[in-house]
């Protein structure tokens, strides 16, 4: 992508492209839903074109938004959720602070000590984070081993406390964006006990490829962070301000 001209050679204006990308990442809409919505507004856009836009611009939104994130606090909640990619379970590692602000996320093919350690190292490197005072996790045995190695390597402070208490992670379980949890609930024939998924009406299909899933997940997570008011000088309920912020990332005047 041309960093100075991110929409060069595109057949649609940047505002239209970002509108489709933002709506797909924020609401329970499929690519075909968005194509129909655009058609009602006089724009003929194929659903595969919208898919390509999401693959290009979702990770760009995530990358360009990071330097504007507000600092998080030193009490972490770390957990992982399941997601099927081409019929096989993969794992989305997530961390939020005690106020529910997104700290970091990572998509992994495995759920083991190496994956947990890699994720925690990524969290510690993020510019908007600080060394944790406490890390709350579930009973996954991979976390104590990973934390011990990180403390031995002086990457994590020895004063950091690890707490394995599942109920303390209610914040992160309620925060996890609805699209993934709805898929999991449908697969298990149960109702998801999360606030956000209950507002979704459409069923979502599984991802077919790992890179495709990861590109989309990066957009999901950052749009969710923007929605929660994690951008500096941007309020949680300021919908128009959030739209203008995404536009400004790509040089579109507001």
Q: How confident is the model at residue 195 (pLDDT cuts 50, 70, 90)?
A: very low
- Of residues 191 and 187, the one with the higher pLDDT is 187
Instruction: State the average pLDDT over residues 132-136.
Output: 94
Distance between CA 176 and CA 231 in Å, rounded? 18
Residue intervals in the chain for CATH 3.30.420.10: 75-176
61 Rama sector, left if φ>0, alpha if ψ -120 to 50, beta otherwise: alpha
Phi-psi category of residue 54: left, alpha or beta, with phi > 0 → left and psi -120 to 50 → alpha: alpha
What's the number of CA atoms in the CB half-sphere (13 Å) around residue 66? 17
Six-digit token string for 86:
């081409």
Mean pLDDT in the chain? 85
| 3-state SS, residue 139 | coil
Q: Is the pLDDT of residue 186 over 50?
A: no
Please tell me the CATH superfamily of domain 75-176, with its number. Answer: Ribonuclease H-like superfamily/Ribonuclease H (3.30.420.10)
Instruction: Report the first-to-last Cα separation within the chain, whole angstroms.
Output: 22
pLDDT digits (tens, 9 = 90+) for 137-160: 988 999 999 999 999 999 999 999
Q: How confident is the model at residue 185 (pLDDT cuts 50, 70, 90)?
A: very low
pTM for the predicted model, two decimal places: 0.84
Could you tell me which residues are beta bridge partners of residue 81?
92
Residue 81: helix, strand or coil by DSSP? strand
| 114-141: average pLDDT | 92
- One DSSP character per residue, 103-126 reads EEEEEES--SHHHHHHHHHHHHH-
């Amino acid at each position: 992508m041309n960093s100075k001209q991110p929409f060069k050679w595109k057949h649609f204006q940047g505002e239209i492209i970002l509108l489709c990308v933002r709506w797909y990442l924020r609401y329970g809409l499929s690519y075909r839903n968005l194509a129909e919505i655009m058609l009602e507004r006089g724009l003929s856009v194929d659903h595969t074109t919208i898919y390509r836009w999401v693959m290009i611009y979702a990770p760009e939104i995530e990358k360009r938004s990071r330097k504007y994130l507000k600092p998080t606090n030193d009490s972490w909640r770390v957990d992982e959720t399941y997601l099927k990619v081409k019929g096989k379970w993969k794992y989305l590692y997530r961390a939020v602070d005690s106020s529910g602000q997104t700290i970091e996320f990572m998509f992994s093919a495995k759920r083991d000590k190496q994956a947990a350690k890699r994720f925690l190292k990524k969290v510690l490197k993020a510019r908007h984070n600080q060394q944790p005072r406490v890390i709350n996790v579930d009973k996954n045995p991979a976390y104590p081993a990973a934390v011990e190695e990180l403390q031995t390597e002086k990457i994590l402070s020895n004063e950091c406390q690890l707490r394995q208490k599942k109920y303390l992670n209610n914040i992160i379980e309620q925060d996890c964006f609805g699209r993934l949890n709805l898929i999991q609930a449908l697969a298990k024939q149960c109702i998801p006990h999360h606030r956000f998924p209950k507002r979704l009406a459409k069923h979502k299909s599984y991802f077919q490829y790992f890179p495709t899933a990861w590109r989309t997940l990066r957009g999901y997570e950052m749009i969710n962070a923007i929605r929660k008011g994690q951008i500096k000088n941007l309020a949680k309920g300021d919908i128009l301000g959030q739209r203008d912020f995404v536009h400004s990332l790509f040089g579109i005047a507001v």
